Structure 1
Amino acid sequence: MSVRKILVPLAGRPEDDEVLSTALSVARAFKAQLVGLFARPDPSEALPYLGDGVSGQVIEDLMQAAREGADDACARVRAALEKTASAAGVAIAKEGGKAEMPSARFLDVTGRRDEIIAKHSRLSDLIVFGESPTGIAGGTALEAAMLSADRPVLIAPKKAWDPVGGTVCIGWDDSPEASSAVMMAIPFLEKAKKVMILCIGGKELDPGPGSTLADYLALHGVTADVHLVDGQGKADGEVLLEQAEQAKADLLVMGGYGHSRIREFLMGGTTQHVRSHATIPVLMAH
């Protein structure tokens, strides 16, 4: 797998600059194109919720205000993309012209945000999300990209990261989700200077699965050290972040949603914990 198209959903918030800076550092590393996606809400979709007693003039005023708000947010997104790309020395791709690599492109699409992001994720190699207003990285759009579109996502915490993937930690539990994340992360692992495989369990943790992964990565030219970590009863997500931070990693690779989203939301889980508390970039796949 190669990384050639990086999708970055944007909303016109102050955090966009840092997310874009992180995504552009990845685009430069892989000579990829970054696509800044603005999902413009369709005001007409709110009409059924206004009720029958609302006058036509009030409806028109509300729709006009919604259009103007979307126009303002769109302008902020475009300006942030152009400013950040210029500072990073990345060219803005011209419509109809031959795309330079790396490059950046702006996309303005009207519709429901989660549906638009899922649709455009299907033909993207990586989707980069920052923290949402709820404090959960990516919000429901991240789930749409990872679960509906089956694409890897990169969580970019509140900081401009450059590089991403110099030191990589892999959270490994021999699950299908973790395997998928490793497959998707191969381009990062091949470039990394240091790779650590973190296997979390009790004192009698089996070293076999970690060694099997290390042998597989060696076939890709990746040298990885296996670390057996006694979680001491702590939640796996907490231990993964602690270990990655201690290793001064700038990328954590892990599977996402080994349990259903409803169970993760109601009872907590590794995915939900990492999405809420990540302080370094995290590549997740399902």
Structure 2
Amino acid sequence: MTNVIACIDGSSASTGVVDSAAWASNQLSAPLTLLHVIEDSHHSARQDMTGNIGLGSREKLLDELAEIDAKRGKLLLEQGHLLLEDAKKRALQNANVSDISMRQRHGKLIDTLLALESETRLLVLGIHGEEHAKGEHIGSQLETVLRRVHKPILLSPDIFEKPQSAMLAYDGSGTTKRGIELLSKSPLFTGMPVHVVMVGADSDTNRAELDWAKQSLIDGGHEVETAIVAGDVEPALHEYQHKHDIGMMVMGAYGHSKIRQFLVGSTTTSMLEQSKTPLLILR
């Protein structure tokens, strides 16, 4: 059975990740896996000082460094275990998730996620991860995940609130059409009104696209609203979302036209920085 996999890193985003993943696990009736990855970057880089110190001193120093590395590795494992235990406790208390497993891995996050891709139904990450808390570019690791992981990715803000409605940013591409099909069938959106929004010209072609999307969602049992809005993608979508108090935005990772430029360009950073609600990315 495929799982909802929640990436826990000890940052302020971890609480939102646990809450959103637990909600998704219940909605999908899927097991929840809490994942903590100890990245290689956490280990200290050794300097090559072989030309600066004598043989005996060098061997002693290397032994001491090895001992420090061993202690650091043990502490990181213990810290990760505590993070996972706390996350499990929160999921049990707040969302009553019955099927929870915990995993801890060494290595790069992206390599771990790709290795687990076959057993992933939904991947949950924090919008503001550990590196962001240290002042790193918000998209430095997230963009790699979005490009390489071919599963739906739920990006959670630091504080998660259960969404009461969803909004799909639609551009008529194959990715967003598959998004319509997913929304119409997925239990993740059971009982939610769904808004389908296009950014572009109010043309007959775009209206026809929206009519198809609307009917597909109605056939799936959803209450549906459609709209075409003008302007730049990010502010136009956020304005519509805010106006209609929509709890979750859904987007295709790679479509075409304005939506594609939006997701692969620098606007992504601004979008994620400003997002106060969960964002579901489809592939």
Same fold (TM over 0.5): yes
- Residues 206-245 of structure 1 correspond to what in structure 2 (within 5 A)? 206-231=206-231, 235-245=232-242
Question: Is the 2:40–2:107 Cα contact (8 Å) retained in structure 1?
Answer: yes
Contact in 1 for aligned 2:6/2:32 (Cα 8 Å): yes
Instruction: Give ranges in structure 2 of 5+ residues lacking alignment.
Output: 51-57
CA distance in 2, matches of 1:58, 1:150: 43
Number of aligned positions between the proteins: 263
Give how far 1:267 is off: 4.8
Q: Which residue of structure 1 aligns with residue 7 of structure 2?
A: 9
1:250 corresponds to 2:247:
yes
Which segments of 5 or more consecutive residues in structure 1 lack a partner in the other structure?
92-101
| CA distance in structure 1 between the aligned counterparts of 2:38 and 2:83, rounded to whole angstroms | 11
240-249 vs 56-65, greater mean Cα deviation:
56-65
Deviation sequence 1:236-277 (CA, Å, 0-9, x none): 022212211221111111112447xxx8799524x4443332
Query: Within the alignment, does 1:285 sit opposite 2:278 as a pair?
Result: no
For 1:249 and 1:23, how far apart are their aligned partners in 2?
19
1:60 matched to 2:60? The reply is no
CA displacement 1:134-173 (0-9 Å, x = unmatched): 27667525633x43231010011121322x3x21111011
Cα displacement string for residues 195-246 of structure 1 (whole angstroms, at most 9, x for unaligned residues): 1111111455731211121122233233322111122xxx302221221122
Amino acid of the structure 1 residue aligned with 2:271 = V
In percent, how many aligned pairs have the same letter?
14
Please report the TM-score for the alignment, with normalisation by the length of structure 2. 0.79
2:114 maps to 1:123:
no
Q: 2:249 touches 2:278 (CA, 8 Å); kept in 1? A: yes
- Does the CA contact (< 8 Å) of 2:13 and 2:156 recur in 1? no
Is the deviation greater in 220-229 or in 121-130? 220-229
Deviations 1:40-77 (A, max 9, x none): 23589866x63363741243144124303412431332
1:43 touches 1:67 (CA, 8 Å); kept in 2?
no
Q: 1:176 to 1:149 in 2, by over 3 A?
A: same
What is the root-mean-square deviation of aligned Cα atoms in Å? Answer: 3.1
Q: Is the 8 A contact 1:4 1:33 kept in 2?
A: yes
After superposition, residues 1-286 of structure 1 pair within 5 angstroms as: 5-41=3-39, 50-51=47-48, 53=50, 55-88=61-94, 90=96, 102-130=98-126, 131-132=128-129, 133-134=131-132, 140-141=141-142, 143-144=144-145, 146-162=146-162, 164=163, 166-185=164-183, 186-188=185-187, 190-202=189-201, 204=203, 206-231=206-231, 235-258=232-255, 267-269=265-267, 271-286=268-283
Give the greater-gyration-radius structure (CA): 2
TM-score by length of 1: 0.78
Q: Is the 8 A contact 1:171 1:198 kept in 2?
A: yes
Residue identity opposite 1:196 in structure 2: H
Whether the 8 Å contact between 1:8 and 1:20 is mirrored in structure 2 is: yes
